[in-house]
Amino acid sequence: MVLGDGTTTAGRARSRWRRWRLLVVIALIATTVALAAALPEPQTSTVALAPDNPSDGGARAVAQILERQGVDIAYVRSSAEATAAATAGTTLLVTGSALLFGDQVDAIAATEADLVLLDPDDFLLGAVTDAATVAAVAPRDPGPAGTPAAPPLVARCDDPDAVAAGSIVASGAGYVARTDAATVCFPGSDPEVGAYLVVDERGRRVTAIGDATVLTNAHLAEEGHAALVLRALGRHDQLVWYVPSSVDFGQAPASGPGLTDLLPPWAGALALQLLLVAAVAAVWRARRLGPLVTEPLPVTVRAAETTRGRGRLYRRSRSYGHAAAALRAAAASRSAARVGLPASAGAAAVIDALARATGRSTDDVAALLYGPPPTDDAGLALLARRLDDLESEVHRS
Amino acid sequence: MALTWRAVVLAALGVVPVALVPVPGTALLWTLVVLAVCGVDAGLAASPRSVAVSRTAPGSVRLTDQARSVLTVTNAGGRRLRGLVRDAWQPSAGAGANRHAVDLPPGESRRLTTVLVPTRRGDRTADRVTIRSYGPLGLAARQASLTVPSVLRVLPEFASRRHLPSRLARLRELDGRAAVQVRGQGTEFDSLREYVIGDDVRSIDWRATARRSEVVVRTWRPERDRRVLLVLDTSRTAAARVDDAPRLDASIEAALLLSALATRAGDRVELVAYDRRLRARVAGANGPRLMPAVADALAPLEPALVETDWPGIVALVRERLSQRSLVVLLSALEPATVESGLLRVVGQLTDDHVVVLASVRDPEVAELRTGRGDAAEVFDAAAAERGELERVAVAARLRRRGVEIVDALPEDLAPQLADRYLALKAAGRL
């Protein structure tokens, strides 16, 4: 008579804890990691001129100042997002033009937003406006390393932003006005070529700054950079900050609604519910009625394995001689016993007796039983069959 | 803790509230409902640990026969037990329908019978008894596995007992009880009786005839009270499979038939199983007590993967036997093992005793010998022929040392060994 399995509630709890504690610890760690990942944290990047890059080459300083002033910054990396967000009444900042393809440039030019272009090349500037072009020479030559830098450029125009900035240190490209719609500021030695360009046409304002470094954290505080940049970018409440990416080729995203848009609104809740049903069904089927019972099994090696192994050895080493000798010896001993010869009888006696019993010639029997060994598979098979014939003749006689 | 299909249905019913209020929160809420209801249901179930269980199983059963394992389940707790009881046995114990539904009010008992049809010889042990107790709603259950030890000894099948009647008839012919006298040289003098036509004239006792008016012949009966020692080799050669059963099983069948025959013939039978140490021994049992003792000793034998210690066997035989006896070695006629083991020491046995080596021949090798299909089969046939020649050679060497050889297919070994015993007895060589 057995009553209970000898455990107590506390003992079972302890053993369950021992069994599950590893899983519990792993689940806790996973939950903690997931929570930590889900927490909003200040994210930074190392992308040049990005609004979340706090290093020297980044532009987080400008972005933070703008946000504090109430400008809403949308940071995008693809031209599709940029053109989608750049509607009329917003500012679109394009931080470079080297990574842009033709259709991306066209898309940017076709937006109705005010444009702020940093160091645009001919291609981009030409697509955006016909009122100005990129000059062949820079307005300010930084000179070779070690020599004293050229003095800062002074506004020398009537654009209020440029006048507010006063002077900048810009070593990039210069721009030449073609029509009256364009205003060129901060000229260098050539008064026609300036580092700052403003074009007002068709209700849109296009600003080009020849040197992108005016925006960076490192140089924002120099001269009048901050004033120039903040006035250019802070013109509207919405700023689309587009940093071109090398992995964006300008293809439009898949059109039409996504799969999740096609599902009815209750689909998510139903899926969750079905997940619960599946989990309960899994627990229902998974629980065994008692542990598995093991069976000590006997050896399963067949006794004929050794014989087969020997056969394979003969075959692999192509031992036709050994195989033929075995077949011949067995046939000879069985036939000799059949015709009444003692086991110790010699070859000549066996040949004579078998020749008499089968009516074959002694040469035939001798060649069959004591001839040269076969040299190939076919010869061996033939020998085996002929030995069978001989035996059957002996047995018939 | 276990769930039932009803819990799945309950979870599926949550589709209704989800359809009415289609937000994920509804599904989560329903999950909590399912968990709570299942938890309460399991909590209200009778404790499977407050159930008293005892098992009654027969001590032994012959292979292929049925045995019944009876569980007595008593609800010792205060709640009604609705549940499922599993009487687990080793797979080879052949417990077919071993799950029993029970509905036990407090304090009551039930007997649950599981029919066992064992499929292998040996000691089959029972595993745990698992009790799953369902809650009042049948949604969830509590489960416990109790250790209720039990062992069922499955005796050898003794299929060769069908050969016993014919061999006993031959034994009676030898014994002088039948009409025909079969007489051997070494038989014992039994009695004198009147000559009838057909009697061997050489058996006429002239001295007795001279004293009486009629011709008198002597009658004879075979020797009785000879000793027969069966030695089972349980080493690695016994483990190899012949016809999908270990060689040992064929040896056991032969040992059983010979024991049955020899004890009816009035001989004293002893049995030992040995590889490198003694595995089983039957000694001193006679008459009706012998066969149960032999079957019981042979039942749990398993081959050990070791080489036979033949000097040890010889020492054991010499220790057990003082007078001339029949020693039957149930082993294998494997050329390599015989040459390195038995051949070196068998002389010490044949000096004092009559030794018979009974070996199981492999029908698969005989099949391989006739293979002519392709080159691989011919090579296999050649290997089989070579093995056979070596067996014949080693058998011849053993015969020269005075060992009788019985080399037969598994199903023929028992009757052929019995025939050899009868022949030895008829020849008076015991």
B224-426 — its CATH code?
3.40.50.410
- In sequence order, the 6+-apart residues with CB closer than 8 A to the CB of A297 are none
CA distances for B345 relative to B162, B286, B329, B342, B351, angstroms: 36, 30, 13, 6, 11
Tell me if A18 is assigned to some domain.
no
pLDDT digit string, tens, across residues B173-206: 776 543 334 444 445 566 777 888 877 777 788 8
B-chain residues near A1 (CB < 8 A) = 52-54
Contact B368 A304 (CB under 8 A): yes
Residue A316 scores a pLDDT above 50:
yes
The sign of the CA dihedral A212, A216, A218, A223 is: positive
Tell me if A106 is assigned to some domain.
yes
**Closest of A303, A315, A383, A327 to residue B379, by C-alpha:** A315
pLDDT for B36 equals: 96
In contact, B242 and A303? CB cutoff 8 Å: yes
pLDDT for A95 equals: 84
Instruction: Please count the residue pairs, one from chain A and one from chain B, whose beta carbons lie less than 8 angstroms apart.
Output: 222
Nearest-CA distance B358 → chain A (Å) = 16
Residue B70 scores a pLDDT above 50:
yes
Residue B427 scores a pLDDT above 80:
no
A64 and A185 within one domain: yes
Q: Give the model's confidence band at A141: pLDDT under 50 very low, under 70 low, under 90 confident, else very high.
A: low
Domain final residue, candidates A242, A269, A289: A242
Domain limits, chain B? 1-155, 190-221, 224-426
pLDDT for B184 equals: 47
Nearest-CB residue to A5 (from B144, B242, B379): B144
Contact B383 A302 (CB under 8 A): no
The least confident of A114-123, A281-290, A360-369 is A114-123
Helix B5-13 with B24-44: angle, nearest 10 deg: 150
Percentage above 90 pLDDT, chain A: 21
Nearest-CB residue to A323 (from B5, B374, B382): B382
Higher-confidence residue of A43 and B133: namely B133
Tell me if A294 is assigned to some domain.
no
Tell me if A9 is assigned to some domain.
no
**Closest of A325, A332, A330 to residue A348, by C-alpha:** A332
Is B107 touching A (CB cutoff 8 A)? no
Pairwise CA distance, residues A386 & A373, whole Å: 13
CA distances for B244 relative to A302, B62, B248, B330, B413, angstroms: 8, 19, 12, 19, 16
pLDDT digit string, tens, across residues A332-351: 999 998 888 887 888 899 99
pLDDT for B363 equals: 92
A321 and A225 within one domain: no
Mutate to test the interface with B, among A7, A8, A272 (most CBs of B within 10 A): A272
pLDDT digit string, tens, across residues B255-266: 999 999 999 888
SS3 of A302-328: ECCHHHHHHHHHHHHCCCHHHHHHHHH
Pairwise CA distance, residues B134 & A16, whole Å: 21
Nearest-CA distance B215 → chain A (Å) = 44
Nearest-CA distance A203 → chain B (Å) = 48
pLDDT for A109 equals: 82
A356: containing domain: 311-396
Among chain A residues, CA nearest to B365: A304
A319 and A183 within one domain: no
A211 and A103 within one domain: yes
Pairwise CA distance, residues A382 & B378, whole Å: 10
Residue B134 scores a pLDDT above 70:
yes
CA B292, B295, B300 angle in degrees (round to 5)? Answer: 135
Contact A327 B385 (CB under 8 A): yes
- In sequence order, the 6+-apart residues with CB closer than 8 A to the CB of A98 are A121, A244
pLDDT digit string, tens, across residues B223-255: 677 899 999 999 998 998 888 888 999 999 999
Domains B1-155 and B224-426 fall in the same CATH topology = no
CATH superfamily of B1-155: Immunoglobulins (2.60.40.10)
Domain final residue, candidates A191, A215, A242: A242
Q: Looking at residue A85, which CATH number applies to its domain?
A: 3.40.50
Q: What's the rounded mean pLDDT across residues A102-129?
A: 83
Nearest-CA distance A94 → chain B (Å) = 42
Please provide the average confidence, as pLDDT, over all residues in chain B: 89
Is A268 touching B (CB cutoff 8 A)? yes
Is B217 touching A (CB cutoff 8 A)? no
Structurally, chain A folds into a number of domains equal to 2
The least confident of A187-201, A376-390, B247-261, B327-341 is A187-201
pLDDT digit string, tens, across residues B306-336: 999 999 999 999 988 888 899 999 999 988 8
Percentage above 70 pLDDT, chain B: 95
Residue A262 scores a pLDDT above 60:
yes
Tell me if A279 is assigned to some domain.
no
The least confident of A176-185, A221-230, B186-195, B364-373 is B186-195
Tell me if A38 is assigned to some domain.
no
Is B4 touching A (CB cutoff 8 A)? yes
Residue A142 scores a pLDDT above 70:
no
Pairwise CA distance, residues A80 & A245, whole Å: 12
pLDDT for A225 equals: 85
Is A311 touching B (CB cutoff 8 A)? yes
Q: Exposed/middle/buried for A15, CB within 10 Å: 0-12, 13-18, 19+?
A: exposed
pLDDT digit string, tens, across residues A271-314: 889 999 999 999 999 999 989 999 888 777 888 999 999 999 99
Tell me if A119 is assigned to some domain.
yes
In contact, B81 and B109? CB cutoff 8 Å: no
Among chain A residues, CA nearest to B147: A5
Contact A3 B52 (CB under 8 A): yes
A-chain residues near B51 (CB < 8 A) = 3-4
pLDDT for A311 equals: 93
Is B31 touching A (CB cutoff 8 A)? yes
Q: What's the rounded mean pLDDT across residues A197-218?
A: 83
Nearest-CA distance B403 → chain A (Å) = 18
- The reply to whether ipTM tops 0.90 is no
**Closest of B179, B178, B205 to residue B191, by C-alpha:** B205
Tell me if A330 is assigned to some domain.
yes
Residue A228 scores a pLDDT above 60:
yes
pLDDT for A148 equals: 54
The least confident of A330-334, A369-373, B105-109, B423-427 is B423-427
Residue B54 scores a pLDDT above 90:
yes
In contact, B42 and B1? CB cutoff 8 Å: yes
